[in-house]
Amino acid sequence: MKSLTRGKKKQALQLLANNRILEARALFEKICQNDRRDIEAWIYLVKVNAQLGDAEAVGQCCRTIIGIRPDLHEAHFHLGTSLLIQGKREEALESFRKALRLQPNNPSTLFQLGKALHLLTRFDEALEYYEQALGLAPNLAEVYDSIGSILKYRGDLEGAIKNYRQALQIRPNFDKAHSDLVFALNYSPRYDADAIYREHVRWGQMHKLPPVASSSDSNPDPTRRLRVGYVSPDLCKHSVAFFFEPLLTNHDPIGFETFCYSDVAKPDAVTQRLQEAASHWRATKGMDDGQLAERIRLDGIDILVDLTGHTANSRLMAFTAKPAPIQVSYLGYPNTTGIPAIDYRLTDAWADPPGITDDYHTETLIRLLNGFLCYQPGENAPPVTPSPARKCGHITFGSFNNLAKITPEVVSLWSSVLKTSPDSRLIVKNISLHDTATREHYLQLFKKHAIDPDRLDLLPPKFFSVEHLELYGKIDIGLDTFPYNGTTTTCEAFWMGVPVIALAGNIHAGRVGVSLLSQLGLTEFIAGSLQDYVRLATELAADRDRLSRIREALRERMAESALCNGEAFTHNVEDAYRDMWVKWCKKHQNGSQDLTARC
């Protein structure tokens, strides 16, 4: 019996070596069914399920192993990892603690325990475990990358950038850390457009997969129905979905066949809506980048669109393999990807003025008419409430932006606004403000500018969208960030009747506010300088009647604008896709005709 089992295990391992993963899993499952106490087979099954991205199956296997061998470190470790993927962070934390008790000096366990605390925004505790892991294994690049992410969440951009660079020094081909680095540069006012561009180009030069297809694989017919693929890990309750859903749901099914490559770890109601709207849905969480690229090639995609850029859980490596003849960057990232294999980037003339930002992109910029964003408000948004200043007697400014955007320079500017508006208050809300040390850090930043902590409300997030939106009812005027503007938070503010003051920057990340305000015809709230920003905020705060009129009319104004017109916006995008395709066809039709003649 044992020799027969060994033979089956050898066969299953050979299937794995040949990348026949599903067959290998089926065989390991049979081995485990035949001998429920075969720990080695169960561990192999855990690893196969992990490779397939099936976190739930990993957890089930680990619980079975623990029932047989409760002292096995590996089972508790993999259980914690699977729970973390499923978003069960407290349970994951307990599993990693059990694993650590079994192997107190295991650097991987220390790292994962720190990661669980990190995701629970218990940053100081997370950093302690990260440091312990580095004490045992100084060359763990992943730990430096994670430390960088904590520092970024806390608003310490220079500390974050230093740690990302350290991760890359240890492992130069660590594409995630390099993406984290280029993303962080967008937030910092210390790096100019040229330096940021050069680092993106370096990413494109450093990280590549072998090409999986050539452009000659597609039929160069300029009028045929096009297959458009969208790749994203954020096709769920995420800010990207507010802007992607109106595009997907309004696509013309006669001219365009849509494919969504969803890398979502935890599908939700938004995922289900998007899946119903797409012509085809591919769940890609278990695929590596090469497998994803091959799947896209097999689907015969004509135009492949990345919705993530260098943000979290990106699949940009798949794009480096050029699985589609035309590749496009859109929506989720405010800069170039730096990847030569990506041909175009969708934007508009407000966010990327012609002749100003083109040289900072490896892609050709396609400027959409009437704005590059289309926002779909939540159906359960509460009604707009009267200006809180009427009730409270003082003006309340606010921002619900990512703390990485709230740099010391932003704090200095907002402090100037508070000083010129006596008795005014400021509300800042972000998930990182769960962390006591992070709240104290920001209180001290404002204190350096003589702003009393009593004038500040630093709030953790509201996880239910209605409660989150209701908090805008406490804000009179939104204050945008720089050099990286808000996007979703600005649109939410508008929908809840809150005008936003924005500073016009010189590259896309700092001009999204310009684009949004221009779409609404509210260009009077665009500041050209720091002094202008303070003046606009102060003047609006002093005119309570004007503020009330704006608040009462803003939702209707937004609903009737191009910013919320999904049908017109999608038509503009489809025109852009068709133009890209026609150009590609003209370039490739001669080669196709020559080939036909030879045949």
Task: Tell me, yes or no, whether 193 lies in a domain.
Answer: no
Query: Shortest CA distance to 260 belongs to which of 209, 211, 308, 212?
Result: 308
- What is the average per-residue pLDDT within 347-351? 98
Task: Tell me, yes or no, whether 177 lies in a domain.
Answer: no
Neighbouring residues of 599: CB distance < 8 A, sequence distance ≥ 6: none
Q: End-to-end alpha-carbon separation of the chain, Å?
A: 59
Quick one: 480 and 349 in the same domain? no
455: pLDDT strictly greater than 90: yes
d(CA 389, CA 411): 23
Residue pLDDT, tens place only, 436-452: 999 999 999 999 999 99
d(CA 420, CA 426): 13
Report the percent of the chain where pLDDT is more than 70.
96
Neighbouring residues of 168: CB distance < 8 A, sequence distance ≥ 6: 141, 174, 177, 178, 181
Q: What is the CATH number of the domain that holds 72?
A: 1.25.40.10
257: pLDDT strictly greater than 80: yes
Give the pLDDT score at 217: 61
Q: What is the CATH number of the domain that holds 486?
A: 3.40.50.2000
Question: Could you give the count of Cα atoms lying within 13 Å of 437 in the half-sphere of its Cβ?
Answer: 13
Residue pLDDT, tens place only, 466-523: 999 999 999 999 999 999 999 999 999 999 999 999 999 999 999 999 999 999 999 9
Task: Tell me, yes or no, whether 165 lies in a domain.
Answer: no
369: pLDDT strictly greater than 70: yes
Quick one: 425 and 544 in the same domain? yes
- Domain membership of residue 119 as a residue range: 38-138
Give the pLDDT score at 588: 87
Provide the domain count of the chain: 3
Task: Tell me, yes or no, whether 161 lies in a domain.
Answer: no
Quick one: 411 and 554 in the same domain? yes
d(CA 353, CA 374): 19
Give the pLDDT score at 594: 45
Quick one: 399 and 527 in the same domain? yes
Kindly state the helix (H) or strand (E) to which residue 329 belongs, with its residue range.
Answer: strand 326-329
Query: Shortest CA distance to 95 belongs to which of 45, 40, 58, 143?
Result: 58
Quick one: 413 and 359 in the same domain? no
**Apex CA 491: angle with CA 490 and CA 493, to 5°?**
65
Q: What are residue 148's phi and psi, to 5 degrees?
A: -60, -40
Last residue of a domain, one of 547, 563, 579: 563
Task: Tell me, yes or no, whether 179 lies in a domain.
Answer: no
Give the pLDDT score at 452: 97
d(CA 13, CA 311): 35
Look up residue 70 and give its DSSP letter.
T
Quick one: 521 and 392 in the same domain? yes
Quick one: 92 and 240 in the same domain? no
Task: Tell me, yes or no, whether 311 lies in a domain.
Answer: yes
Identify the band that residue 216 occupies on the pLDDT scale cut at 50, 70 and 90. very low
Quick one: 407 and 544 in the same domain? yes
Evaluate whether 174 touches 157 at the Cβ level (below 8 Å): no
Quick one: 265 and 118 in the same domain? no
Last residue of a domain, one of 367, 400, 434: 367
Q: What is the CATH number of the domain that holds 314?
A: 3.40.50.11380
Residue pLDDT, tens place only, 290-299: 999 999 999 9
The one-letter amino acid code at 215 reads: S
Quick one: 414 and 532 in the same domain? yes
Quick one: 284 and 431 in the same domain? no
Task: Tell me, yes or no, whether 203 lies in a domain.
Answer: no
Give the pLDDT score at 15: 87
Quick one: 336 and 400 in the same domain? no
Q: Kindly report the pTM of this predicted structure.
A: 0.94
Torsion of CA 309, 315, 321, 324, to 10 degrees: -80
Evaluate whether 102 touches 73 at the Cβ level (below 8 Å): yes
